[in-house]
Amino acid sequence: MAEAKAERLANRAVDLGLVTDRQVQDIWTELGSRNVATDDFFQLCVRRGALTNYQVELLTKGERRGYFYGDYKILYMVGAGTFARVFRASHRQTAETYAVKVLRRRYSDSNTQSSQFVREGQLGKSLQHPNVVAVHEVTSADRAHFIVMDFVEGWNLRDFVRIRRRIEPLEATRIMADVARGLDYAHQQGLAHRDMKMTNVLVSSRGQAKLADFGLASISDELSNEMIAEMDIPNTRTIEYAALERATGVRRDDTRSDLFFLGCIYYHMLTGQSPLAEPKDKYHRISRARFEDIVPIQQVLPNLPQPVLLVVKRAMQLDPDRRYQTPDKILNDLESLLGRMTGKSVESGEGAAAAQAAHAPEQPLKNLVLVEGNPKRQDLLRGALGKVGFAVAASADPYGAIGRFFENPLVADGLVINAQDVGQPALDAFNRLARNEKTKQVPIVLLLDEPQKDWEAKAETSPNRVVLHMPVKVSDLRSTLDKIIPEKPST
Q: Where are the domains of the chain?
A: 2-61, 71-150, 154-357, 366-484
Among candidate residues 174, 204, 187, 200, the one with its CA nearest the CA of residue 308:
174
Torsion of CA 299, 302, 307, 313, to 10 degrees: -10
Per-residue pLDDT at 236: 60
The contacts of residue 79 (CB under 8 Å, 6+ apart) are 85, 86, 156, 199
Per-residue pLDDT at 169: 94
Per-residue pLDDT at 256: 93
Per-residue pLDDT at 284: 66
> Across the 491 residues of the chain, what is the mean pLDDT of every consecutive 10-residue run?
73 90 90 86 84 90 90 88 86 90 84 82 88 93 88 87 88 95 92 89 87 61 41 58 85 88 97 86 74 93 93 96 95 90 49 37 68 80 79 80 83 91 88 88 93 91 93 89 79 46
- Other CB atoms within 10 A of residue 430 CB: 26
Among candidate residues 233, 259, 234, 231, the one with its CA nearest the CA of residue 244:
259
The β-bridge relationship of strands 414-418 and 444-448 is: parallel
The contacts of residue 157 (CB under 8 Å, 6+ apart) are 175, 198, 199, 201, 202, 203, 209, 265, 269
Output the CA–CA distances (angstroms, integers) from residue 297 to 162, 178, 278, 313, 318, in the order listed. 19, 22, 17, 8, 14
Among candidate residues 300, 336, 302, 331, the one with its CA nearest the CA of residue 315:
331
Separation of alpha carbons 405 and 400, rounded Å: 9
Separation of alpha carbons 77 and 80, rounded Å: 8
The contacts of residue 143 (CB under 8 Å, 6+ apart) are 105, 108, 109
CB 131 within 8 A of CB 182: yes
CA 203 from chain centre, in angstroms, equals 8
**What is the pTM (predicted TM-score) of this model?**
0.68
Let me know how many helices (H) and strands (E) the chain has, helices first. 21, 14
CB 371 within 8 A of CB 378: no
CATH 3.40.50.2300 fits 366-484, yes or no: yes
Among candidate residues 137, 17, 143, 9, the one with its CA nearest the CA of residue 68:
17
CB 24 within 8 A of CB 75: no
Q: What is the CATH number of domain 154-357?
A: 1.10.510.10
Core vs surface per residue 221-248: b (16+ CB within 10 A) or e? eeeeeeebbeeebebebbbbbbbbbbbb
Instruction: Please report which helix (H) or strand (E) contains residue 162, including its range.
Output: helix 157-164
Per-residue pLDDT at 314: 97
Helices within 287-326 (DSSP H only)? 289-292, 297-300, 306-315
Output the CA–CA distances (angstroms, integers) from residue 235 to 19, 67, 221, 268, in the order listed. 37, 27, 18, 19
First to last CA, the chain: 56
Output the CA–CA distances (angstroms, integers) from residue 324 to 240, 261, 350, in the order listed. 19, 12, 26
Per-residue pLDDT at 344: 37
Per-residue pLDDT at 340: 85
Among candidate residues 378, 382, 418, the one with its CA nearest the CA of residue 163:
382
Per-residue pLDDT at 466: 94
Total residues belonging to the chain:
491
Phi, psi values for residue 11, rounded to 5° = -65, -35
The contacts of residue 288 (CB under 8 Å, 6+ apart) are 243, 247
Strand partners of residue 391: 367
Separation of alpha carbons 255 and 194, rounded Å: 9
Among candidate residues 427, 417, 418, the one with its CA nearest the CA of residue 455:
427
Strand order in the sheet with 465-469: 390-395, 366-371, 414-418, 444-448, 465-469
Q: What is the CATH number of domain 71-150?
A: 3.30.200.20
Per-residue pLDDT at 376: 75
Torsion of CA 16, 17, 23, 24, to 10 degrees: 10
Same fold, 71-150 and 366-484: no
